[in-house]
Structure 1
């Protein structure tokens, strides 16, 4: 399976480091996030990658070259002209992914020990178009699932705004983990263009297509703030 790693973001929460560097090169115990996640996925047999770049993208290119691309096959989706967010970034990388049956997407600033093999197995067993890794943890935004773990909505806990389909009121609320497995048929169904969030697209797609949640209790941290690096260094050696 090929993996798309989202590494283009501005990383504003990681300032002042990201004033001069991409967040993908922020280090946890001396190892950059991008290197950690390439090697993490390689440990599950994934060796074909697409990496999108924008903010200080040249530094990422140099880093990969200096490390002989970690022995991986790496293609670059260069968003240097415009940062496209997750949905636009996926659509922009279409040419690298459209011939795959399915592919994995991962945010570069997520560190986890989630079992990727089990994640892929559930996706294939459920026959879903999209499978989202989710867990029961604190988050300002929650995805909402029915008793079959089909995605049915989204809620923002800060302002209580929500979007639900199907008239189902007893829904399980879980936090998205920044990993998803997506079938390439999504490219025929996406309606947005330009800069947009993939979650907005998922909220439309869930009305007609199966989007399933994979609930896990693995270690996971969003390395989005300087203080989260300290926490990550205790969790990931």
Structure 2
């Protein structure tokens, strides 16, 4: 099974921790974020991982070499010349991902107790082009889904901006979920990306095709998850890891 880890971000919200190292190597509970994600993917059965790099990218390469790729096949998608955002990053990594196998995408700064294997298998059963981890969490930006959990729009409640492929879209008629930073995609997604080039957001891409194909929410119950975006969130992330450890003992 294949997975891609987004590790190319600048980590500006984590400064000063990221002034001299990539966000992916900032430690939580004594281990770099990237190590936590790789080990979770490995435990779930993923044996081929693609990692994109940009900010202090060589440090990530050296870290993986030091740990002998954690016994996995790991390939690097190098974005050091140009940071391509989430959609562009996936498209650049197509040479590793575009075959007959669905693949999971995981932001390096997401901490959760999600069962990654169950998520992957649920996506396969759904037949959707993409399945997005989503749930109820206070944020300013929400994905909007209909009664069948199909993506229909996006709303920024702070600015009032709304995006949708549907004319006369009314956000209040839909269920609002926060995006969890983990998704599973069918390799068919690359056929839809033919006209997209360079840097682009995967969410903008999903919204552009949502009326033509199935982009669905995956909403497990009693899920703990958060993105480690600021230094003060590191302690809260450790609590999730502690509860995950207790659950799996």
Deviation digits for residues 61-98 of structure 1, max 9, x if unmatched?
11111111111110000111111111111111110111
- Given the alignment of the two structures, is residue 207 of structure 1 paired with residue 211 of structure 2, yes or no? yes
Unaligned runs of 5+ in 1: none
**2:196: which partner in 1?**
192
Counterpart of 1:35 in structure 2 is 35
The 2-side partners of 1:74 and 1:145 are apart by 34
> What is the RMSD of the two structures over their aligned residues, measured on CA atoms?
1.2
2:176 is aligned with 1:173: yes
SS at match of 1:236: helix
**Are residue 155 (structure 1) and residue 155 (structure 2) matched?**
yes
Q: 1:157 offset after TM fit, Å?
A: 1.2
Secondary structure class of the residue paired with 1:196:
coil
Alignment of 1:116-155 (within 5 A): 116-155=116-155
How far apart are residue 165 of structure 1 and its match? 4.0
Q: Distance in 2 between matches of 1:47 and 1:83?
A: 26
CA distance in 1, matches of 2:67, 2:76: 15
Does residue 182 of structure 1 match 2:185? yes
SS at match of 2:232: helix
The question of 1:221 aligning with 2:226 is answered: yes
After the TM superposition, which parts of structure 1 deviate over 6 Å for at least 4 consecutive aligned residues? none
Indicate the SS of the match to 2:158: coil
Find the counterpart in structure 1 of residue 95 from structure 2. Answer: 95
- The TM-score, its normalising length taken from structure 1, stands at 0.96
Unaligned runs of 5+ in 2: 243-249
**Matched residue, 2:106:** 106
Counterparts of 1:5 and 1:22, CA distance in 2: 14
Give the TM-score taking structure 2 as reference length.
Answer: 0.92
Q: 1:114-135: per-residue Cα shift (whole Å, max 9, x none)?
A: 0112212221222100000001
Report how far residue 220 of structure 1 moved.
0.6
Q: Matched residues in 2 for 1:93 and 1:50: separation?
A: 8
**Structure 1 residues 100 and 75: CA distance shift in structure 2, 3 A:** farther
Mapped to 2, the partners of 1:10 and 1:200 lie a distance apart of 20
